[in-house]
Structure 1
Amino acid sequence: MSAPLFLDQFETTLRDHPEQIAVIDLSGDEPVMLTYAELDRLAARIAARLLQLDVKPGEAVAYQLPSGWPFVALTLAIWKVGATPCPLLPQLREREVAFILNSSESRVFIAPDVFRRFDYRPLVESILKEAPRVEHALILPTSPYDPLSSDLGGLLAPEADAEAAKEALSARKPGPDSHSQLLYTSGTTGEPKGVLHTHRTLSEALLIHTRTLGLTSKDRIWVPSPTAHQTGFLYGMLVSFYIGAPGIYHAIWDVDKARAAIEEHGATFVQAAMPFLSDITRADRPPKGLRLFIATGAAIPRQLAQEARERLQCAVVGAWGSTESCLVTVGRPSDPPEKLWGTDGRVLDGMQIRVVDDEGRELPPGTEGNFQVKTPAMFVTYLHHPEWYEAAMTPDGFFDTGDLAVIDEDGYLRITGRKKDVVNRGGEKIPVVEIEDLLYQHPDIADAAVVAMPDERLGERACAYVVLKPGAKRLELCDITDFLGERGMAKIYWPERLEIIDEMPRTASGKIQKYVLRQDIQQKLERERAEKTG
């Protein structure tokens, strides 16, 4: 039996409890609260405008908005016209945005005027020269932020237009196998992958997730993760829709906003990367009131987990998921502490996990191997690259995650590494190969490698190892980051440490031995910490 679709769940709440709060947005000077009825009316007005822009069923609509009510209303509107949401992280810049617009073939692109003191208007103007398919670029003003005062730069059609569009919108309601989401992941091959989900696959993920964790309309879902990322989109915004509960948003991470979300607005559940957990746990006055914190992106260190449980007075569990497979493993609050902490939990009901060798043979418990998953919430393809999808799927329907892992005798998962190099910075995957390709273009660099270095707060940060050309001047980190910035690479992808070496450690076949570099930077960090404490 298939899971109820999330849009049907939304409409059930809209019909039975129209005055239920859907959105609590703490991004502005004053909170913005919208009921399910108010949110639906806003979405209908935006949908009417998208019809006027001739958005076709199934086509991707790209938008680079921060978390908040405009993002939520626009996403609903895109589904109302039968189109596919293609959200972009606000931190992305020319290089990444132009690639995604061209790949997704979006004819409509929506961006804010200013966010975090960055003016997007010149960015959009520049990108349009590189993305000729874009026919409509809309700039949303961030002030005024109140939906009663803003027309979203013309994106909100008049009420009369929304009323006139009702029949057309009714005919466009997406079905279970319609595309529900196009999200781009940071590629290890230098090209981001466009992951396509359907309304069915995301709904399967939501049913399993909410049922396993016992989430109901009495909960309030806190969404500190960007809604342009799968964690915020699916396990924040859509979880709230699925159970008919409020979602609590804020566009910029801030501990005081977190405290307001939890203590003033009653947040009970959150799924977010470990840095969010670390920051609120170690705040001067840790907020109280959460029931459950699911920490993703890396296994929770024992010290942080114990501290979080004591200071936040809530259950804290780890989990593993991906954009392609959605959440596959999670700890349960009733699990023993020695299993909860330092692992990524155990498999969700209705899903399967295994560890295999390079020939595909399943390995016994406690043995490291290639981590594969099978789930009804699996994505349906990579846009324009079905061959990537086919290469990642086994004949018996398992998805090869690219991770190395160990599953213990009790079924608990521990991710131990990656077959391909990616830096997992607070849950955000950094495309190593793309950075290296740009570094090789620097006139003073002969050889380059980017590796993960351990970080207590973010899990990992990026460290660049470079070999200079003969006679080149000594480079500083700022020289590297300026160079990457000039070439349009987003700041979130820049290396945060630079190590200059005489030559790269290589195998006999010439491949760089990155594990040697990872060991080197780990030892250096340990020595530096020892010197500080000594």
Structure 2
Amino acid sequence: MITDLKINEDQRKLYYEKGYWTQDSIRDVWHRQAAAFPDREYVVDDHGSRYTYGEIDDKAGRIASWLAAQGVQAGDVVTLQFPTWAEFCIAYVAALKVGAVIHPVARNYNEVDLEYGMNLVGSRAFLCATFSHNVDYEAQILMVRDAIPSLKAIAVLDRVAPSHSDLPTFDDIYGAWEPMTEFPPVSADDVACILPTSGTTGKPKQAMLTHNNILFSERAFTSGLGRGEHDVMFMPSPLNHTTGFFHGLISPLLLGGRAVLQQDFRAAEAIDLMNAEGVTWSMSATPFIFDMLNIMEANPDLSFTTLEVFACGGAPLPPSLIELAGRHGILLCEIYGSTESCPHVYVPLDKCTEWNGAWSGVAFEGIEVRVVDEMGRELPAGAQGEEISRGPHQFVGYLNEPDRTNEALDDEGWFYSGDLGYMDEEGRLRINGRKKEVIIRGGENISAREIDDDLIGCPGLACSATIGMPDERLGERICTFVSPTDPTHPPTQEELIAYLQSRHIAKRLWPERVEVIDEIPVTATGKVKRFILAQELKARMEDGGH
């Protein structure tokens, strides 16, 4: 059982008094909805899988019985690794039923990532696909299972390719086990989910969120966007993120609604899928709607027939994109948040057109937002500082990392985002920069320092410093400045990537542009002056670079 949670007791009492928090767990909500709507479709994906609430409940109940028989108890961690498939719902509901903590990881995690992440959280069980997208997930977990002492149970879903080991498949379990009927006690204040989140210092942190955190967050989200049980959510984002998992699946669950998943985003196919399934709303990073709107501009035969609202996170929305969406009958709504504070600021639907990208938004009901100076003192309207937030939605710490928890979350419950912005007298927030060394690429947080650490030891490289390179579609791409050991033979992008490949570094951490520089600018204490590199990159791009 995870116990190192950081919750301010005065805030806890307040949240219960106001009804923001209740005694319900996500499992309680699931069981109510499955009983109320057993024949209603809950989730569909673009590869033909369709499941009603009742079907998910039955199959998840059988997996839960098997998990319990393998010794998985309430409070244990169950790690999930799946593409954006409907069957993810079977796995996450099974974990809920047995009272476990859900730990979804990226589908592009390799064996090194799995070993590190699962040992950090103490995974008791692992559920994954056998194979997808040229990745043998079954082989990966077999490669490292002996290096994860806590791991006691593995099962695989053979949707695309048959199992090639003695591991039980989901179908094996469906046929051998009856659905669980007695459930271990779970508190709404227990941790329900652990999500990896990129930090500024190397390896990902593991953010812990309780049942109450997640349920409040998604109630605020659906209420703020005016959604109801007849709405259909389109989700192309990975299911190991707050966007894909919480917004894509928990929000429809709360509404008794439906989710439509797309495994690999392709704009034209997404539009066809959304129209065929009657999608009315979506939430994802800006590149998704950017691509769909632009392909519709180029092809007049393509259009949305049912989509009403597309909420965007990960980067400020440009006015031109909001206006383009409006011409196609879509409200583009900016959302601001993070894994730790997800989401907490939004542009109300009746203000999307009026504000036109000028503001990141206002706080959802029940959430507090401030802008503070370096001493934590609240700043007056219009003054730039660090954005902080507090509310019932907020994470309760990083697992097994009290120092990093205390750096981000103070004793009064305020989360320090590391993002820079300012507010006006009406409480409108504008985010316009970051203190953190994080690159936001297509909505995914990537640690710049992690890339630099991974490059240490690369032949021909004396030093490197990575920054975000502005990109119209993705918001940012990865640009690495390199200081060579031999100025006449600096390492190339291909050589850097080859070195990272040799160390089994995931592709998402490979530099997409390399710039040679004589010396990396640093402060007196050795910290990289990334803002100077950003200025240098801007100048080089203006001088004719791409």
TM norm structure 2: 0.90
Report sequence identity in percent.
31
1:210 is aligned with what amino acid? T
From 235, 238, 255, the counterpart of 1:243: 255
Q: For 1:305, what is the secondary structure of its paired residue?
A: helix
The answer to whether residue 379 in structure 2 is matched with residue 363 in structure 1 is yes
Spell out, residue by residue over 1:260-286, the C-alpha distance to the aligned partner (whole angstroms, 9 max, x if none): 332100111111000111011111324
* 2-structure distance, mates of 1:265, 1:142: 22
Aligned to 1:148: none
Q: Is the 8 A contact 1:9 1:243 kept in 2?
A: no
The answer to whether residue 29 in structure 2 is matched with residue 9 in structure 1 is yes
Q: 1:423 to 1:98 in 2, by over 3 A?
A: same
Q: 1:144 to 1:21 in 2, by over 3 A?
A: farther
Runs of 4+ in 1 over 6 A off after TM superposition: none
1:324 is aligned with what amino acid? E
Q: 1:450 to 1:129 in 2, by over 3 A?
A: farther
Q: Is the 8 A contact 2:155 2:169 kept in 1?
A: yes
The answer to whether residue 240 in structure 2 is matched with residue 220 in structure 1 is no
* 1-structure distance, mates of 2:36, 2:57: 14
Spell out, residue by residue over 1:362-395, the C-alpha distance to the aligned partner (whole angstroms, 9 max, x if none): 1111111011001111111210012322232234
2:32 is aligned with what amino acid? T
* 2-structure distance, mates of 1:400, 1:155: 45
Spell out, residue by residue over 1:435-457, the C-alpha distance to the aligned partner (whole angstroms, 9 max, x if none): 11121221311111000110000
Aligned to 2:514: 498
Spell out, residue by residue over 1:170-205, the C-alpha distance to the aligned partner (whole angstroms, 9 max, x if none): 231522122210111112111211111111111111
Which ranges of structure 1 fall in alignment gaps of 5 or more residues?
Answer: 146-150
Aligned to 1:278: 290
2:462 is aligned with what amino acid? A
Pairing of 1:193-212 with structure 2 (within 5 A): 193-212=205-224
Aligned to 1:93: 110
Spell out, residue by residue over 1:103-130, the C-alpha distance to the aligned partner (whole angstroms, 9 max, x if none): 0111322332222222334433333354
TM norm structure 1: 0.92
Choose 71-80 or 360-369, whichever is displaced more.
Answer: 360-369
* 2-structure distance, mates of 1:138, 1:18: 26
The answer to whether residue 33 in structure 2 is matched with residue 33 in structure 1 is no
* 2-structure distance, mates of 1:391, 1:359: 13
Q: CA RMSD in A?
A: 2.1
Which ranges of structure 2 fall in alignment gaps of 5 or more residues?
Answer: 1-18
Pairing of 1:345-384 with structure 2 (within 5 A): 345-384=361-400
CA drift at 1:10:
2.7
Q: For 1:282, what is the secondary structure of its paired residue?
A: helix
* 2-structure distance, mates of 1:174, 1:456: 45
From 424, 445, 452, the counterpart of 1:436: 452
Pairing of 1:230-379 with structure 2 (within 5 A): 230-283=242-295, 284=299, 285-311=302-328, 313-335=329-351, 337-379=353-395
2:275 is aligned with what amino acid? E
CA drift at 1:98:
1.6
Q: Is the 8 A contact 1:274 1:298 kept in 2?
A: yes
* 2-structure distance, mates of 1:130, 1:449: 32
* 2-structure distance, mates of 1:526, 1:472: 25
From 518, 524, 536, the counterpart of 1:520: 536
Q: 1:213 to 1:378 in 2, by over 3 A?
A: same
Aligned to 2:7: none
CA drift at 1:336:
5.7
Spell out, residue by residue over 1:185-241, the C-alpha distance to the aligned partner (whole angstroms, 9 max, x if none): 112111211111111111111221222222110101111111111101111100011
Q: Is the 8 A contact 1:113 1:140 kept in 2?
A: yes
Pairing of 1:448-467 with structure 2 (within 5 A): 448-467=464-483
* 2-structure distance, mates of 1:412, 1:180: 31
Q: Is the 8 A contact 1:67 1:228 kept in 2?
A: no
CA drift at 1:49:
1.8
